[in-house]
Amino acid sequence: MASSPLLDLPGMDANLERIEVALRAAVRTSDEYLTELASHLIVAGGKRLRPVMAVAAALTGRDEASDDVVQGGVSVELVHIGSLYHDDVMDEAEMRRSVPSVNARWGNHRAILAGDFLLARASEIAASLGAEVAGLLGHTIGRLVDGQMGELRTQYDPSRTRRAYLDSIGGKTASLFAAAARTGGIVAGLDRAHIEALTKYAMSYGMVFQIVDDLLDLTATEAQLGKPAGHDVVEGVYTLPVIATLDAGGPGAGELRDLLGKPIEGAGLDKTLAIVRSGPGVAEARGVARTYAAEAAEVVHSAFGASDVVDALTAAPLALIDSLL
């Protein structure tokens, strides 16, 4: 995906350095082996968009983000990374962020335990920031699990509905961005109306983020993705472009439905991607993403008015959509 305008905010480079130091410190233990496992994907890199979201939220009402704001963002990032450890076990993934996955390198048992450790550290940090932040993080982990469970319930199911898809990504992806923004607002001491607005904004941003990610999986090339295209279809996860193509009806939808509902590879996968790419589902999914981006812009402008931070928040979901062009 394209670089986020949030990363271009004045002083964000310094905040990213603070985030990186805090992340690595959060997983450092007296057990060097556990530290190595827990820090594996942190060392591998990442844009740190969730802690950046927490910092940006705080900057809507403060000139600087406190150390506690950074810690709040780190707690959400640790939940995200821990969930990746568990996802890779479920998917039997061999690579993550261009490095071997934890399960591929150390085995499933160690990957699960390391993921559990990351969730525990996230909870410990959140608790240090107060009962409200601790409760929010616990609620978010529950939403993440619920969203992932919703995805598993509809695996290889061509009748998966749009509502089921949107509910799932709201839980497994958007809720983490919402939690990061809300935590940033709470810890920065913003008023309740602004905290609620930031939460709604980040929820919409997270919906755009996942829809765009799902579109890229179906429309980008292997060279662009750094991994084979169509991974979701192979795993039996039918995302919005596929669902919209099926809902449109016609010969293409019928042919697509015949291909789905079972493991797929080779020529079958190539045919599936060709049908989706040439059908109406891609454009419709982009339209849904634009709707969420417009909702995000409306809520943040209504709450805060004009500022450099608001401009960056408004541009962030649009930059995600532009990465599809």
The 3 state secondary structure assigned to 142-210 is HHHHHHHHHHHHCCCCCCCCHHHHHHHHHHHHHHHHHHHHHHHHHHCCCCHHHHHHHHHHHHHHHHHHH
pLDDT for residue 96 = 81
CATH fit for domain 5-322, picks 1.10.10.10, 1.10.287.130, 3.40.50.300, 1.10.600.10: 1.10.600.10
pLDDT for residue 1 = 62
pLDDT for residue 221 = 81
**Nearest-angstrom CA–CA distance, 197 and 182:** 9
Measured in degrees and rounded to the nearest 5, phi and psi for residue 45 equal 105, -170
Collapse the DSSP code of 251 into the 3-class scheme (helix H, G, I; strand E, B; otherwise coil) and give the result: helix
Q: Which residues of the chain have pLDDT under 50?
A: none
What average pLDDT does the structure give for the chain?
Answer: 95
pLDDT for residue 2 = 66
